[in-house]
Amino acid sequence: MNLIYLISLFIGTVQLLFWLSTYFLRKGIKESETYGTTALEPLTVIISARNEAHNLSTFLPHILSQDYPDFEIIVINDDSTDHSSEVLDHFMAQYHNLRVIHMQNKDREGKKQGLQEGIKQAKYEWLVFTDADCYPKSNQWLRSLAAKCNDKTDIILGYSPYQQENGCLNDFIRYETFMTAAIYGTFTQLGMPYMGVGRNMAYRKSRFLEKVNKEKFEKISFGDDDIAVNAMATCQNTALQFTEKAMVMSLPKATLPDFIKQKTRHISSSAYYKTNHQWLLSLLAISQANFYPFLFFLVFYKTHAAIFLFIFRMAIFLPNLILLMRKMECKDLIHKAILMDFLFFLYYWYVSFQWIRTKKISWN
């Protein structure tokens, strides 16, 4: 009896604290929507691409045409076997600020080696990262990020939702991406930044070279974005930029196995986070992953307790979720919120199981 109430109290308290804390994320997004004229730092945009000829042809022009006075783009052609080189040569003939680094015969798998070379060759202090299968939602992307550059800031974390397409898988991929951003965005606003996504983030070159352990970073084939941010970020030096103009859209995975493989790799990175971040994220994950199983148990044991717990969580969860969805490119999923929440619980368990049984995941 006491154990049941203790579990209910734990789930309710963790969920209450997190969803009330999302107020600070919404507040941060609103404040970022109005920014004054600041000195625009010169930027280096770094893109790693392997066999991305089609995506480079389609999306690179969105970056090359950014409304920004001084920026260069470095594309790492990461051992491609398609006609990426020809595509990049075509763009280089038109744009003087585009450079290409051809990576061949690498001694390590993954894209970290190429990214490190791009960082090494970057002309400017501020580095902006995105992927070849991504495109900025507006030509003000770089200006929006640069608005957060100041003497106190070393890292700027952006938001990269997936492109809306038909189908239940696309709905869930976009919901999961929204939830991931809601969590790292909220933690950042609370002064506990722990990760970012390489599709849309920026940081100082000097901070990376100073704080990221080269040997440790190179030893792990994944985590080029979140592990690096976890090593560099503090409560004072990290800013958030989730406004619509700063968003970078990304192409979603087309199949469930590809999505699961991608997310399993991302979960693997969390083992290299700082200990306090691992504990906080574990508490939140446990409360989310066990809500529905525990609710199902209560239905048969203490029905009135099950009803109370469900109503309590939904009263906290739904209003705050809907407010965030309206700001983060997910308004079309509002009417599916409870279904997505239930699928999110199933996803937690399945991906965790896949992570445990998978020994090695390669980047593709």
List pLDDT tens digits, range 325-359.
999 999 999 999 999 999 999 998 888 787 666 65
Position of tokens 């809907």? 322
| Extended strands (E) in 167-262 | 201-204, 238-241, 248-250
Query: Strand, coil or helix: what is 150?
Result: coil
Q: Residue 141 carries which side chain, given as an amino acid letter? A: W
Residue 107 binned pLDDT confidence (cut-offs 50, 70, 90): low
List of domains in the chain: 2-24+278-353 (no CATH), 27-258 (3.90.550.10)
pTM of whole model > 0.85? yes
Per-residue pLDDT, averaged over 244-250, amounts to 96
- The per-residue pLDDT for range 28-37, each reduced to its tens digit, is 998 887 655 5
Query: Strand, coil or helix: what is 82?
Result: coil
d(CA 19, CA 320): 6
| Contact status, residue 14 vs residue 224, Cβ threshold 8 Å | no
d(CA 184, CA 51): 30
pLDDT at position 121 over 70: yes
Position of tokens 């090359």? 64
Name residue 78's beta-bridge partners.
Answer: 103
d(CA 106, CA 121): 17
d(CA 298, CA 110): 46
Orientation of helix 168-189 relative to helix 2-32, angle to 10°: 80
Q: With residue 215 as reference, give the H or E element that holds it.
A: helix 214-219
pLDDT at position 222 over 80: no
- Phi, psi (5° rounding) for residue 240? -115, 140
Among candidate residues 32, 15, 3, the one with its CA nearest the CA of residue 345: 15
